[in-house]
């Protein structure tokens, strides 16, 4: 069974640009979450989607947005990039039976560098 797939793996952008990251969850998983990992702040929750609906959002500015498609694939978008947005962005998926325990399975991440 394929794991969570994130594309691209690496991305370099300049300040002011926007970026879209993609995530394909494990087959059959309908919940998709996004996290940002930085050396200073660690892993921080961005948002979570289930059946195309955002159910929870972390404390990030409105420049960070996401969406989920009917096939459970998800994208996150960051507009007007800032230097501080440089981070590893991780996507995770969960299956229905494990939603209560919130066991999430992570992809390898997209490393975003903002110059």
Partner 1 sequence: DQQVKQNSPSLSVQEGRISILNCDYTNSMFDYFLWYKKYPAEGPTFLISISSIKDKNEDGRFTVFLNKSAKHLSLHIVPSQPGDSAVYFCAASGSGGSNYKLTFGKGTLLTVNP
Give the count of residues interacting with partner 1 (CB under 8 A): 26
Gyration radius from the chain CA atoms: 13
Q: Which is nearer to partner 1, 17 or 52 (CB)?
A: 52
Asked if residue 80 binds partner 1 (CB under 8 A), the reply is: no
- Residues counted in the chain: 115
Q: DSSP letters of 29-83?
A: --EEEEEEEETTTEEEEEEEEETTEEEEE-S--TTEEEEE-TTS-EEEEE-S--G
Q: Could you say which of 21, 25, 29, 48 contacts partner 1 (CB under 8 A)?
A: 48
Q: Which is nearer to partner 1, 24 or 31 (CB)?
A: 31
Instruction: Give the pairing type, strands 110-114 and 10-13.
Output: parallel
Instruction: Say which DSSP state 98 is in.
Output: G
Stretch 17-46 residues interacting with partner 1 (CB under 8 A): 31, 33, 35, 42-45
Q: Which is nearer to partner 1, 83 or 103 (CB)?
A: 103
Asked if residue 77 binds partner 1 (CB under 8 A), the reply is: no
Residues lying near partner 1 in the complex (CB under 8 A):
4, 31, 33, 35, 42-45, 48, 50, 55-56, 58, 90, 92, 99-109
């Amino acid at each position: 069974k394929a794991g969570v797939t994130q594309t691209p793996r690496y991305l370099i952008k300049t300040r002011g640009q926007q970026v879209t990251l993609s995530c394909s969850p494990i087959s059959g998983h309908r919940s998709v979450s996004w996290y940002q990992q930085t050396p200073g702040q660690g892993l921080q929750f961005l948002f979570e989607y289930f059946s195309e609906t955002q159910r929870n959002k972390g404390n990030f500015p409105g420049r960070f947005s996401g969406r989920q498609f009917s096939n459970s694939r998800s994208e996150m978008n960051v507009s007007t990039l800032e230097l501080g947005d440089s981070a590893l962005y991780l996507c995770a998926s969960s299956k229905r039976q494990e939603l209560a325990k919130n066991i999430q399975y992570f992809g390898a991440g997209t490393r975003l560098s903002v110059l």
